[in-house]
Amino acid sequence: MIEMKDVYKQYSNGVMAANGFNVHIKQGEFVYVVGPSGAGKSTFIKMMYREERPTKGDIIVNSINLAKLKTSRVPYLRRNVGVVFQDFKLLPSLTIYENIAFALEVIEEHPKQIKKRVMEVLDLVGLKHKARMLPNELSGGEQQRVSIARSIVNTPKLVIADEPTGNLDPETSWDIMNILEDISNRGTTVIMATHNREIVNTIKHRVIAIENGRIVRDEQRGDYGYES
Ligand SMILES: Nc1ncnc2c1ncn2[C@@H]1O[C@H](COP(=O)(O)OP(=O)(O)OP(=O)(O)O)[C@@H](O)[C@H]1O
Ligand SMILES: [Mg+2]
């Protein structure tokens, strides 16, 4: 489902954040991306949903070559890829319900169908009762659950999360992990960049370690592997 072939990324300031990424990720895999700060994890992830374009190389996601994809086609790609950020990125003036419904309204889904699907994903993350509230009326963990609900409302085949537990306390981080596990168990591919050693070492999955823009380790059921 995802293939990177000799992918390089040099930012306009000259920084080489990707020095030849080669990776193949199958449908349904759960992959942790680990490595020191500045290693290139976010760059790796951003190239998978065309937030960044590679300087060189090919990136195939759902049979689309993102290196060649026209900018005007990027919204179509995004419909099949859910993205979760460390800082949630919810729209502050919209209710929880509206934040999630937004993605379906854009694709002109039938209103009845929108309501059904939004309540379904809110139920999945345990927040049906907060549908009418505004983001700032929710705790950080609840806001992250909303952002996960939003990321899966389109039933994407791929969910990408960049440090989804980065701003959360340990207990809330485990709640978020349980939801991502649940999504993964339903067959969705999950790719998650994280600095959370305990989670990586406890819920075992494939681990891709990046250092200085290079993949230095790629192991099934790997460890976090860095001294804290
Ligand atoms: N938009 C940008 N312009 C220029 N340089 C950038 C840009 N984004 C990232 N970089 C640089 O690219 C390198 C990799 O950054 P990246 O954000 O991918 O690291 P990271 O592994 O996600 O780090 P962290 O764990 O701190 O999130 C760093 O040296 C960073 O300073
Ligand atoms: Mg990062």
Condensed to tens digits (0 to 9), the pLDDT of residues 42-64 reads 999 999 999 999 999 999 999 99
Q: What are the chain's domains? A: 2-219 (3.40.50.300)
Condensed to tens digits (0 to 9), the pLDDT of residues 86-126 reads 999 999 999 999 999 998 988 878 999 999 999 999 999 99
Whether the model clears a pTM of 0.85, i.e. scores above it, the answer is: yes
160, 180, 219, 220 from 187: Cα distances, Å: 14, 11, 20, 17
* Closest Cα to atom 29 of ligand 1: 38
Q: Which of 50, 99, 105, 107 is nearest to 77 (CA)?
A: 50
pLDDT at residue 108, rounded to an integer: 79
pLDDT at residue 226, rounded to an integer: 82
**Ligand 1 atom closest to Cα of residue 13:** 4
pLDDT at residue 34, rounded to an integer: 98
At 81 the three-state DSSP class reads strand
pLDDT at residue 228, rounded to an integer: 57
Q: Which of 96, 103, 52, 99 is nearest to 81 (CA)?
A: 103
- For tokens 């989670």, the residue is 199
Distance 69 CA to ligand 2 centre (A): 24
Mean pLDDT for the chain overall: 95
For ligand 1, residues with CB inside 6 Å are: 11, 13, 15, 17, 35, 37-43
Q: Minimum-distance ligand to the CA of 85?
A: 2
Listed as ranges, residues in the chain with pLDDT below 70 are: 228
